[in-house]
């Protein structure tokens, strides 16, 4: 039998779970204090819903659950491998949210400000930092097409990060429509914008020269490409720069309002910055997109955007929606690596008993629990060895039942 | 596309999630204050580990995850359906705990007092009260063969129930070895005990006469059966009754000590009662078994026991262990049906803004959040209608930005 967890998943040790639980509950409480409401959906979804969803690459990473009993035998005899599964594990929280909203809409407020903190599954090729089972923390506002939704999402997400002690970050923002306008102003056709965006998304990896080369290799006109690259090279590229290229578009004044309000609300603790090169991978974004980045780490630690056509899919109508997701595993990993100190935790005490003092220790422990998290330990032959082990395991102090004195076990990490 | 969740699973509404989260975190904090430590394991386990585990009937209820890519094609061409899956969803938290302990033992204290609060999956035929995805709350003590472990588990579990406001319950206790001794004292062979126990487990459904009939139908000697039934009919059947039938066995004095200490610790809030007919289904129990029952409800709302041969399985050695599980879905359902009042929650306020007052409302909301959970709402044309909807959605009060007065929305459930 195999004692390790399956590839790409983890057994978490008690000290890790303590930090992960604290982070999740602090994020959840922050979201709730800002008027968002948590829902939960099953980890399992209908396979057709998953297969037909707009998950892009993720559709190739679905863990599929086999049919059972007679239905499995029927499916197997059909010879069609696609028939074998009837359900799958969700690869994100957006498809379940879409289905949930359609299923429960009559019971939900509008706009619906919703929290999802839950596990998702992707059959990724396992590699460092890529898990097959991981937690996402999402907030979404469904049913509002106003810029106020973006302002609230940015403020609430930033507050959650600050509350867990993650304070060195900025939020970059862009609008798909503006990026598209800039690309088209260089002479590209509307239909080419998606392909150009996919290349632009690699700017931080292959730089302007690399992106230029890729675009030309893709067969795009060299003059148009050069014109686009020249615009991208402008530093700083502000909303005024964008306006001078494309004119005063609605999406520019929209971004301006969001940034102004979000930056006021930040009280200087973080900045919301326009980044004309920000793309975000998901194909379903229709307007604003945003991403959290930190000067201390490569890559995004959160992101989101507006996806006005997705939620209404099950209902056959258009419902505006915008969401912001925190990369929980990334942040938990960073904080655990930094020897994160859990705030406000009760000290841990070991109360040591022997056969005779166990009954008294039982009652005594309950009294001490007002002030300490108390674990009962049977006295071993050598107390000294136990003290050393307790200190190693993160206990703050210990006490031998029947003696009044509390022994402190030195400073804990 | 299907908008309902897959069979046997549920979409939880915000008000339900609020209660479920509160219950889970209160149970978790109680467990932690008593010196237990939480671990988490993946929802997915290796299919061989699951198939070879001691899950009894549950082995027929495993959701299996299909292999992917080439491996799936190879498996399909083998024609053997068993080859198609490489993983499965866990059906309980005991098998993962067993594997986890073997994998991480060097990093864990001994005895290890462990918490698991997590989802498990069973492909049950869907019916009222039986979910295919549900939460279990388990505590286990691994590495202690002392009766003190049972005392701690009972006290900690009872405290968790009291802390969530579930206070009308008792705990019945038995010992597999004692029940076996009573059965054998009626003339049954040791090998027949399991089969007799399976019938005895139905006492609450088919009564003494029904069990007698079933035993005789199974081919057991009628005289032995009558002798056993006569013993079972003794009321009250105390530990003294047991001792008079089987002699002063070690397991009787063990039960006596557990009950004495557990009943002292209960301060009269619940009783721990010897029930000579208590069986508990799982085949892996080796000693004490216990079950929580409430006069208000049929069936068990929690249970557990000692399983000294299971944990060591992966390690090839014998490691004593005992666990206690709370039936979370059962309890959450009972409390939600009772219109459970969430204690200590901040009141919910709706802060209403218009286009002009949004920037001020944004800052104002943050101030109010020290005292309230504040949701921002854009003012609709008819304020009165909004007030009615807010009250319906569980808001306690609301305020229009720019006006100082807080409007209370009537008593909430």
Whether the ω angle into residue B111 lies within 30 degrees of 0, i.e. cis, is yes
Q: A2 and B46: CB-CB below 8 Å?
A: yes
Q: What is the DSSP string of B345-406?
A: PPPEEEEEE-TTTHHHHHHHHHHHTTTSEEEEEE--S-HHHHHHHHHHTT--EEEETT--PE
Q: A44 and B133: CB-CB below 8 Å?
A: yes
Judge contact between A49 and A59, C-beta under 8 A: no
Judge contact between A31 and A115, C-beta under 8 A: yes
Burial of B68: CB neighbours in 10 Å, binned 0-12, 13-18, 19+: middle
Chain B residues in contact with A99 (beta carbon < 8 A): 1-3, 5
pLDDT digits (tens, 9 = 90+) for B65-118: 999 999 999 998 888 888 999 999 999 999 999 999 999 999 998 899 999 999
Chain B residues in contact with A265 (beta carbon < 8 A): 362-363, 366
Best of A65, A103, A117, A269 to disrupt the B interface (most B CBs within 10 Å) is A65
Label residues B188-213 b or e (16+ Cβ within 10 Å = b).
Answer: beeebbebbbebbeeeeeeeeeebbe
Which residue from A minimizes the CA distance to B48? A1
Neighbours of B313 (CB within 10 A): 20
Measure in Å the smallest separation between the Cα of B147 and chain A Cα atoms: 10
Who's near A37: CB < 8 A, 6+ residues apart? A112, A113, A114, A115, B14, B17, B18
Best of A4, A16, A22, A44 to disrupt the B interface (most B CBs within 10 Å) is A44
* Percent of chain A as helix, strand, coil, to the nearest 5: 45, 20, 35
Whether the ω angle into residue A393 lies within 30 degrees of 0, i.e. cis, is no
Measure in Å the smallest separation between the Cα of A253 and chain B Cα atoms: 15
Q: A63 and B65: CB-CB below 8 Å?
A: yes
Q: A11 and B37: CB-CB below 8 Å?
A: no
Interface predicted TM-score of the whole assembly (ipTM), two decimals: 0.92
Measure in Å the smallest separation between the Cα of B191 and chain A Cα atoms: 29
Measure in Å the smallest separation between the Cα of A411 and chain B Cα atoms: 19
- The predicted model scores a pTM of 0.93
Judge contact between A115 and A36, C-beta under 8 A: yes
Measure in Å the smallest separation between the Cα of B10 and chain A Cα atoms: 6
CB pairs under 8 A between A and B: 248
Q: What is the DSSP string of B333-347?
A: HHHHHTTPPPTTPPP
Between vectors from CA A263 to CA A261 and to CA A264, what angle results, nearest 5°?
Answer: 65
Question: Considering just the CA atoms, what is the radius of gyration of chain A in Å?
Answer: 26
Q: What is the pLDDT along chain A (413 residues), one digit of tens a residue?
A: 899 999 999 999 999 999 999 999 999 999 999 999 999 999 999 999 999 888 888 889 999 999 999 999 999 888 888 899 999 999 999 999 999 999 999 999 889 999 999 999 999 987 777 899 999 999 999 999 999 999 999 999 999 999 999 989 999 999 999 999 999 999 999 999 989 998 998 888 888 999 999 999 999 999 999 999 999 999 999 999 999 999 999 999 999 999 999 999 999 999 999 999 999 877 789 999 999 999 888 888 999 999 988 888 888 888 999 999 999 999 998 888 887 878 878 899 999 999 899 999 999 999 999 999 999 999 988 888 888 888 888 899 999 999 989 999 875 44
Q: B13 and A39: CB-CB below 8 Å?
A: yes
Q: B376 and A81: CB-CB below 8 Å?
A: no
Partnered with residue B209 across adjacent β-strands are: none
Token reading at B221:
């000697």
Q: What is the DSSP string of A311-358?
A: GGGGTTS---EEEEEE-HHHHHHHHHHTTPPPTTPPPEEEEEE-TTTH
Comparing CB atoms, the residue among A6, A146, A353 nearest residue B44 is: A6
Chain B residues in contact with A20 (beta carbon < 8 A): 40
Neighbours of A57 (CB within 10 A): 11
Which residue from B minimizes the CA distance to A2? B49
Residue B92: which of B328, B258, B317, B384 has the closest Cα? B328
Burial of A278: CB neighbours in 10 Å, binned 0-12, 13-18, 19+: buried
Helix B14-33 vs helix B147-163: crossing angle, to nearest 10? 140
pLDDT digits (tens, 9 = 90+) for B121-177: 999 987 777 899 999 999 999 999 999 999 999 999 999 999 999 989 999 999 999
Which residue from B minimizes the CA distance to A159? B366
B409 φ/ψ angles, rounded to the nearest 5 degrees: -105, 25
Please tell me whether residue A1 adopts helix, strand or coil conformation.
Answer: coil
**B378-383 long-range CB contacts below 8 Å, 24 or more apart?**
B378/A144, B378/A146, B378/A148, B378/B352, B378/B353, B378/B354, B379/B352, B379/B353, B379/B354, B383/B352
Q: What is the pLDDT along chain B (413 residues), one digit of tens a residue?
A: 899 999 999 999 999 999 999 999 999 999 999 999 999 999 999 999 999 888 888 899 999 999 999 999 999 888 888 899 999 999 999 999 999 999 999 999 889 999 999 999 999 987 777 899 999 999 999 999 999 999 999 999 999 999 999 989 999 999 999 999 999 999 999 999 989 998 998 888 888 999 999 999 999 999 999 999 999 999 999 999 999 999 999 999 999 999 999 999 999 999 999 999 999 877 789 999 999 999 888 888 999 999 988 888 888 888 999 999 999 999 998 888 887 878 878 899 999 999 899 999 999 999 999 999 999 999 988 888 888 888 888 899 999 999 989 999 875 44
CA distances to A21, A59, A126 from A131, rounded to whole Å, are 18, 16, 7
Q: A144 and B389: CB-CB below 8 Å?
A: no
Q: B375 and A113: CB-CB below 8 Å?
A: yes
HSE-up (13 A, CA, CB side) for residue A317: 6
Q: B63 and A20: CB-CB below 8 Å?
A: no
Give the model's pLDDT for residue B411: 55
Q: A66 and B65: CB-CB below 8 Å?
A: yes
Q: A42 and B359: CB-CB below 8 Å?
A: no
Question: Which residue blocks in A267-313 are alpha helix, DSSP H?
Answer: none
Give the separation between CA B283 and CA A94, rounded to whole angstroms: 42
HSE-up (13 A, CA, CB side) for residue B342: 19
């Amino acid at each position: 039998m195999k004692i390790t967890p399956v590839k790409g998943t983890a057994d978490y040790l008690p000290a890790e779970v303590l930090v992960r639980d604290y982070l999740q509950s602090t994020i959840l409480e922050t979201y709730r204090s800002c008027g968002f409401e948590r829902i939960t959906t099953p980890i399992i979804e209908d396979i057709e819903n998953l297969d037909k969803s707009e998950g892009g690459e993720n559709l190739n990473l679905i863990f599929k659950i086999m049919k059972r009993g007679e239905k499995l035998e029927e499916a197997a005899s059909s010879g069609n491998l696609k028939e074998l599964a009837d359900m799958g594990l969700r690869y994100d929280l957006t498809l379940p949210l879409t289905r949930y909203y359609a299923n429960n809409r009559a019971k939900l407020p509008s706009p619906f400000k919703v929290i999802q903190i839950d596990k998702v599954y992707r059959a990724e090729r396992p590699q460092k930092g890529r898990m097959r089972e991981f937690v996402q923390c999402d907030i979404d506002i469904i049913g509002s097409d106003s810029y106020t939704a973006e302002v609230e999402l940015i403020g609430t997400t930033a507050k959650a990060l600050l509350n867990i002690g993650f304070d060195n970050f900025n939020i970059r923002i862009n609008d798909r429509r503006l990026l598209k306008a800039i690309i088209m102003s260089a002479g590209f056709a509307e239909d080419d914008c998606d392909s150009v965006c996919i290349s632009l998304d690699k700017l931080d990896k292959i730089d302007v020269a690399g992106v230029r080369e890729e675009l030309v290799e893709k067969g795009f006109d060299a003059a148009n490409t050069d014109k686009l690259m020249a615009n991208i090279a402008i530093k700083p590229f502000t909303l005024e720069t964008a306006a001078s290229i494309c004119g005063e578009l609605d999406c520019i004044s929209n971004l301006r309002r969001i940034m102004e309000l979000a930056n006021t609300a930040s009280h200087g603790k973080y900045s919301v910055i326009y980044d004309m090169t920000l793309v975000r991978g998901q194909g379903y974004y229709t307007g604003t997109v945003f991403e959290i980045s930190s000067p201390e780490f490569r890559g995004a630690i959160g992101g989101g955007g507006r996806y006005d056509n997705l939620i209404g899919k099950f209902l056959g109508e258009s419902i505006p929606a915008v969401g912001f997701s925190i990369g929980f595993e990334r942040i938990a990993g960073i904080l655990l690596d930094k020897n994160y100190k859990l705030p406000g935790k009760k000290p841990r005490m070991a109360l040591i008993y022997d056969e005779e003092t166990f009954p008294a220790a039982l009652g005594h422990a309950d009294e001490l629990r007002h002030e300490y998290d108390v674990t009962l330990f049977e006295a071993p032959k050598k107390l000294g060895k136990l003290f050393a082990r307790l200190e190693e395991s993160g206990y703050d102090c210990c006490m031998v039942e029947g003696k009044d004195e509390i022994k402190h076990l030195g400073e804990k990490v």
